[in-house]
Structure 1
Amino acid sequence: MINIKHHGATSGVTGSCHELSLQTESASGLESAEHGIFIDCGLFQGQDEGRSASAADLTIDFPIDHIRALLVTHVHIDHVGRIPYLLAAGFEGPIVCSEPSAVMLPEILEDALKIGFTRDRRLIERVLGLIRERLVPVPYGQWHRVFDEGECSLSVRLQRAGHILGSAYVECDARIGDMEERIVFSGDLGAPHSPLLPAPKSPERADRLVIESTYGDHDHEDRKTRRHRLKAVLKSALADGGTVLVPAFSIGRTQELLYEIEGIIADSSEPGFDWRSLEIVVDSPLAANFTRIYRDLKPFWDAEARERVRSGRHPLSFEQLTVIDSHEDHLNAVDYLARSHRPCVVLAGSGMCAGGRVVNYLKAMLGDERNDVLFVGCQAAGTPGRDILNYGPKGGWLTLDGERYNIRARVHQVGGYSAHAGQSDLLRFVEGIPEVPEEIRIVHGDSGAKAAFRALLEETFNTRIMIPE
């Protein structure tokens, strides 16, 4: 029997953890053996699964003795944040991922360990050393045998997902005796025409498909439209000397935004707007580190980005870009920008405003109408980011660290930079599979997004479509 189970991302957009298991019985039927893999082991954020944004509930409360490997689709924390706890629970198998993800995974987990696990440097190094020992980097498009034990075998193949650098969807070829099945786990799929990364291509086959639905209820703006909207927000900063605050995840969105901003500055020459005076600040050591890694992994960029580099441009290290590292410099920057009238764009973590340096900027700048808050990604229910989106346009307020802050800054959302596929993109991914999967499971979405995507799939395909609980 080939089973799929879900240990997260069924009641929201975080905590991704899925299980594929193969169970065999002896000829007598009295004994059985089970072998399985996990696809991702991520952190819950916001109100997903009834967990808190502080991630207080990190227990691995499901069996792991039969798990032979962990497959990582990409290194966002809602897909990898529980890995240290999985190791602590006794998992001893390999961690299989793409080659870029193998470079980035220890870096993102080091930050997660410092925030939510321990400040003990020796313990952190021990855990990171263990993770590095377990990593098995696999090139895109190449089959990797996880196990093969007579009646039972499983091989996996990673394909580009276009979500962030190193992201992949996972094709699994499972066999029990004469029964063979290919199961595909989408991970997070990227939108076509996103900066830096090639768009995902549909799998050649999928008997069963587990697919994300973050934006299963609507489409994004096209790249030209979202670039125009981004440029308009930047121009407002130049016009009134305010700060555009972008809560951005350290991996993916920060680098894509830098790429687009560099393009806007390079291509713009409008009277009355001195684009060269617009300073761009990345205030996040983690984001700065991953921006460096992105630069080092140029072979995995798309053709447009590589051509920009060949022409002599530096899309991730241009003249107006400043990186803030130390906490003291961060506090000085917050104070200076809150008082000054210097036009500036600040990219700071975390992406949902649930912690990190962005919180200090919000406290100092939300009450000033010269400033703008620009969201470029999904804001999970229960996070401050969702509150700002909900109440900011109404001139409302929110609570940060127990204190009330009025929202006078302008609030914008440009969904095209979310790094997630929109509804039509998700549908095209399914339509591109030559034969419709016998079963499609919809995960990783709010209830409304999942319901809308399910209705669309039911209109389009005659197959079993389900939303796991």
Structure 2
Amino acid sequence: MNDYTLLHHGAVDGVTGSCHELRARDGTAILVDCGLFQGAEVSAEGGSAGTPAIDFPLDHIRAIVITHVHIDHLGRLPYLLAAGFRGPILCSEASAELLPLMLEDAMKVGVTSDQRLIRRILEQIASQLVALPYKHWHALLPGWQIKLHPAGHILGSAFVEVRLSGDLAAGSGKGDWRIVFSGDLGAPHSALLPAPRSPWRADLLVLESTYGDRLHVDRKQRRRQLQETIERALRNRGSVLIPAFSIGRTQELLYDLEHVIASAKKQPAETDWSALEIIVDSPLAARLTQAHIRLHHLWDAEARRRTASGRHPLAFEQLYTVDGHDEHLQTVAYLARSARPAVVIAAGGMCSGGRIVNYLKAMIGDARHDIVFVGYQAAGTPGHAIQQYGPRGGYVELDGERHSIRAGIHRIAAYSAHADQADLLRFVGRMRHQPAEIRLVHGDRRAKEVLMEKLHARFPETQVRIP
């Protein structure tokens, strides 16, 4: 019988609010992630996007490990501090650099406009932050060790290996328990980052399942889809609007757009690619892109080769960044009334906030324009509604107003930074010692059920559970 308990405080009934508690036999515990909910998703205790306060006991929790800096994995950190948590906040070295940028932006949008309060919160987090190198054991508590491995999801992302030993592993029969939290695993075809490598062993694997029921197209096909959509916009003299999270998705898009433009310019074509502007309308995304450039030693071999050849995949000639709010409003108005073709990458990824909302309000009713979704859209978000009702000529509510959808709606699933079904099965299959138990989290019900069937068939001796 296991001498540990696993509790889930989020990412059980959907893909947001990731928060998992591992409790040892002596009552000590750690959290892995503490993210915000988005859309209609809730926690087991009733927490939601509208009620993000911590709704579970903290007295016994000694530390938190952050797998990566997406807000659905760390957005409740300020609320954790407000509830009295003063233990170490562990993350990778790159995440430690990116985390303050992400949290500052999230707090400005969803918590407070009081800059002094934001600064105090960030200073408190900085005093608790512990940056860990990849692939090294870190002694956390008596009997507790933590190791981070590159997850390939976004810059700095990690899956977490926990080793309970000594008196905490008395019933293991092996000298220790190994519990692995996948966090969000990247897809092997993702640009910029190397693919994750499976751990040697896991007694319990807590596995994400966002795309557990589907397969992604390859990178060549997704670039072709992106190019075809842009060529349509160029013919129509319209714009392509891409809602995207500021980290990960934005940089992958820039990487592929630079490749598409560079390749198109070498070949005779009807389309004038030199007229196309690539606009990143997110000060946060601009700062995070600069961080990607600084941390280029974490890029994969292909990206490093491209840079060595003189290319600048994240800082090319036709790339333009919008900074201030007035400039943002002017850009929206200009693109809505002009016939200047452009690709706009704007925050936020599910259209529930951020600068993308102003673009949508101004342009979603115009058939010249196209909206391209490159990531998961949680139920209850405007992005989900646009995907669902846009192809039928429906409408979406934005800031309380109804907007008819006449723009073209497209979805390129291969830009997801998540592993697909085949990748998840490979992640398990490449472990030298298979898990005794797998718990599926961070996915819709169907995705988890389909993945559970596949895992049962391939690993019949492993118990697969949906919490």
Structure 1-normalised TM-score?
Answer: 0.95
Shift of 1:458: 1.1
- Give the corresponding residue for 1:235: 231
Rounded to whole Å, the distance in 2 between the matches of 1:444 and 1:373 is 26
Q: How does 1:14-413 map to 2 (within 5 A)?
A: 14-24=16-26, 34-49=27-42, 55-148=49-142, 153-177=143-167, 178=170, 179=172, 180-268=176-264, 269-413=267-411
Shift of 1:274: 1.6
The aligned amino acid for 1:227 is: R
Shift of 1:54: 8.3
The aligned amino acid for 2:444 is: D
Rounded to whole Å, the distance in 2 between the matches of 1:393 and 1:118 is 37
Rounded to whole Å, the distance in 1 between the matches of 2:55 and 2:106 is 20
Give the secondary-structure state (helix, strand or coil) at the position aligned to 1:108. Answer: helix
Shift of 1:176: 4.6
Q: CA RMSD in A?
A: 1.3
Aligned residues: 455
Contact 1:248 1:347 in 2 (8 A): yes
Contact 1:59 1:85 in 2 (8 A): yes
Alignment deviations for residues 338-365 of structure 1 (CA, whole Å, 9 cap, x no partner): 1111110000011000011101100111
Give the secondary-structure state (helix, strand or coil) at the position aligned to 1:157. Answer: strand
Between 398-407 and 352-361, the greater mean CA deviation after superposition: 398-407
Rounded to whole Å, the distance in 1 between the matches of 2:91 and 2:47 is 27
The aligned amino acid for 1:135 is: L
Instruction: Give every structure 1 segment of 4 or more consecutive aligned residues whose post-TM-superposition deviation is greater than 6 Å.
Output: 50-54
- Give the corresponding residue for 2:14: 12
Shift of 1:53: 11
Shift of 1:402: 1.8
- Give the corresponding residue for 1:465: 464
Shift of 1:222: 0.8
Give the secondary-structure state (helix, strand or coil) at the position aligned to 2:311. Answer: coil
The aligned amino acid for 1:290 is: L
Rounded to whole Å, the distance in 2 between the matches of 1:231 and 1:141 is 38
Identify if the C-alpha distance between structure 1 residues 53 and 367 changes in structure 2 by more than 3 Å, giving closer, same or farther.
Answer: farther
Contact 2:440 2:448 in 1 (8 A): yes
Give the secondary-structure state (helix, strand or coil) at the position aligned to 2:73. Answer: helix
Give the secondary-structure state (helix, strand or coil) at the position aligned to 2:184. Answer: coil
The aligned amino acid for 2:31 is: F
The aligned amino acid for 2:67 is: T
Between 100-109 and 169-178, the greater mean CA deviation after superposition: 169-178
Contact 1:214 1:449 in 2 (8 A): yes
Shift of 1:154: 0.7
Rounded to whole Å, the distance in 1 between the matches of 2:202 and 2:14 is 24
The aligned amino acid for 2:466 is: I
Structure 2-normalised TM-score?
Answer: 0.96
Identical counterparts, % of pairs = 58
Instruction: Give the unaligned 5+ runs of structure 1.
Output: 25-33
Shift of 1:147: 0.6
Contact 1:22 1:176 in 2 (8 A): no
Contact 2:11 2:43 in 1 (8 A): no
Rounded to whole Å, the distance in 2 between the matches of 1:301 and 1:467 is 34
Shift of 1:202: 0.8
Alignment deviations for residues 69-127 of structure 1 (CA, whole Å, 9 cap, x no partner): 11010000000000000011111111111111000001101111112222111111111
